Amino acid sequence: MTTQNWPDPKRPGVPMLPERDGWHALENNERKEYWWDAHCSCWTTSEDGEFSWIPDDMSSVLGFSYIGPVLTPTQINEMLAAERERAARTAQEISDKYYNEREKAYHQDAREYADERMCAASECAKAIRNLGAAP
């Protein structure tokens, strides 16, 4: 059994986001979900912690491989919204760059070139932010 499949090979059996309680997918001979209890830093079969295992036992003794956290629809939506905002900010930074180039341009052609790109990048930023809006 290798520990390279855990999020941090130096901490086998410890899940991604160990400071948070939550369900995670693990795999031995079959894929199963286990609850990570952040307070006791242990794995359980349920949120009430009836049976528990220390992290090292899950990887070394029981031979589980880590697949990843089981995310709720709310968590997925939050992650997608954050990613959209990062992309929109990048598009806005590109627009700002072309705004500065337009202001420094000596020729009309260069100003128009920068203006077109500035507007396009700004429109992209708006469209990216609207991707999460209801249709």
107 and 51 housed in the same domain: no
pTM for the model: 0.63
Average pLDDT, the chain: 88
23 and 78, same domain (yes or no): no
The count of domains in the chain is: 2
Q: What percent of the chain has pLDDT over 70?
A: 94
- Is 134 a member of any domain? no
Q: What is the pLDDT of residue 15?
A: 93
Residue range(s) defining the domain that contains residue 64: 1-70
**102 in any annotated domain:** yes
Residues 48 and 59 grouped into a single domain: yes
User: In the predicted model, is pLDDT for residue 3 greater than 60?
Assistant: no
CA 30 vs CA 64, 66, 67, 89, 98: distances in Å: 9, 12, 11, 42, 53
Q: Six-digit token pair at 59?
A: 């990887």
First to last CA, the chain: 48
pLDDT in tens, 30-86: 899 999 999 999 999 887 767 889 998 888 888 888 999 998 899 899 999 999 999
Q: Is 49 exposed, middle or buried (0-12, 13-18, 19+ CB in 10 A)?
A: middle
Q: What are the start-end ranges of the H helices in the chain?
A: 55-56, 73-104, 108-129
Q: Which of 53, 70, 87 is the last residue of a domain?
A: 70
What distance lies between CA 77 and its chain's CA centroid?
A: 11
pLDDT of residue 4: 56
In a domain, 135, yes or no: no
